[in-house]
């Protein structure tokens, strides 16, 4: 029984070592991203969808709960399509590959 206890303690110590390595690599990557992140943060802070587009999607989600649409994706697609027709701020459709 004494040998089993020793082998289990070795495993736990190796896990502790690997977790320390992961945390140190996270620290170095986070310090890098802070210096570069300032320029990226400005462009991502603006909203992609206008309030009218959000309202259209919200309305279609309500219709989904009533059972008018088959699934969530369909409700979102219909809401964005209606918003585009009305001229709301919505990004262009993604092109099929």
pLDDT computed for residue 63 by the predictor: 96
pLDDT computed for residue 36 by the predictor: 54
- pLDDT 10s digit of each residue in the chain, 97 long? 655 555 555 555 555 555 455 554 455 554 555 555 555 455 556 778 999 999 999 999 999 999 999 999 999 999 999 999 999 999 888 887 7
Residues with Cβ < 8 Å from 90, sequence gap 6 or more? 49, 50, 53, 80, 83, 84
Contact of 78 with 60, CB cutoff 8 Å: yes
First to last CA, the chain: 61
Contact of 90 with 57, CB cutoff 8 Å: no
């Amino acid at each position: 029984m004494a040998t089993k206890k020793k082998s289990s303690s070795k495993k736990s110590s190796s896990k502790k070592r690997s977790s320390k390595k992961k945390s140190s690599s996270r620290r170095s990557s986070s310090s890098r991203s802070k210096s570069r992140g300032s320029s990226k943060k400005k462009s991502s802070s603006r909203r992609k969808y206008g309030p009218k587009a959000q309202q259209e999607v919200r309305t279609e989600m309500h219709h989904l709960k009533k059972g008018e649409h088959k699934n969530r994706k369909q409700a979102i697609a219909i809401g964005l399509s209606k918003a585009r027709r009305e001229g709301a701020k919505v990004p262009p459709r993604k092109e099929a590959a």
